[in-house]
Structure 1
Amino acid sequence: MPDLLPSLPLLIAFLFASLALAITPGPAVIYVLTRTLAQGRRAGLASVAGVALGNLGNALGAAVGLAALFAISSLAFSVVKYAGAAYLVYLGIKALRAPEPQPGQAAEPAFGPAQAGRIFRDGFVVALLNPKTAIFFAAFLPQFMDPAASAMAQSLLLGAVFVAIAAITDLMYVFAASALAPALGRMKGAGAAGRYVTASAFIGLGVLTAMSGGRGAK
């Protein structure tokens, strides 16, 4: 029975390639960083979990042929892409509309009080509504698969490994951002400025996602 994992040299190449791709900033990384800086480490951890589940959903979609549909149907790809872009813009507007702090009061977080369930949901939607991720899996994973073994089983296994690596790199971003957050918070006017930076990041990311024709994992 063919092994579902590639040979050791090919597996090492897959792990290094996955690490290099996962650590490159993209929509998921920006989402995780923004949530962490705005609402703290707990929010960052919840966002990492949501993004990981969304990416796993895309890996599953690639395994069952969803990526092939996106590749041949520009309409299907566009619908999902613009839905994801609209959601990012919605998050930016939500951050922009956060209430201004009253004199003598601390600024409210850009997204309001941190609610792990809502943050998890937002991260899941941001990652899942990125059809470029499914297409990335469909293009990247076959390079490390054995034609004699089950394509679905191999793509699910390798996809899960990639998602795990991406989650680890996202956690590194969370810990780095949470370590910097207190220093940023002590800066005068940091609360109001952070709200505008957060809103600009999400709205800009949504516009960039809508206009982008390229294909990337994160």
Structure 2
Amino acid sequence: MKKRILWILLDLVFLTVFNTVFFVAGGTDHNLSVWISYGFIHLSYLLLIITPFLIRQSSSAAVFGFSLYSISSAYFMVEFIVGVIFCLINMESYKPALIVQVIIAGFYAIMLLSHMIANENTADSVERHEMELRYVKDCSARILPLVDMISDKKTKKKVETVYDMIHGSPVKSNHSVRQIELDVMDQIDALEAAVNSADNDKIASTCNKITRLADERNRQLKYNN
């Protein structure tokens, strides 16, 4: 909460300084071109502040945030310079100020939206890849500790074989084998229970089920990809 308040106060520094200088130095009697520039400067700063809310939350959020921040920061700096120039010129006609700053805002919108679309596509690909990794990584990580918990050499060998098969399975997956992967995870639950109860017969039968399921998953992936 304290950190959020500090960020809000930091965001208010520019608004406080800019508005103090604007009204103390120039008063309130301005042409429309000045008020248009005043509004666009505040708009650009507002967009910079809300940029964090436009970032797609994922493991690559830092990368996405950097690109969007760069675009919003560049827009704010350009708009600030252009806006101040129009404020100092104080033109009677509002059209040049409006046209120039609408063009700048439009260019910013194009750049921002195109990067947001690209970030969405990248985030979807990353999430899909992470989900694909989950089957191999999570299943392997659950099976490996079970090997050291088994004293019977023959039974241990069966579990080691299951581990090698899962660990060496293709990472790339698709929706057609998702149910099989879930079935494998269910059988790993059963395998953990069997190991904990030292039921070698149950361990062996569960290993056979996992092997058949994992082999079917890999076979379907081979023909579907």
User: Which one has a bigger Cα radius of gyration?
Assistant: 2
TM-score range, shorter chain: under 0.3
Q: What is the TM-score with the length of structure 1 in the denominator?
A: 0.26
Larger relative contact order (CA 8 Å, sep ≥ 6): 1
Of Structure 1 and Structure 2, which has the larger fraction of its residues in helix? Answer: 2
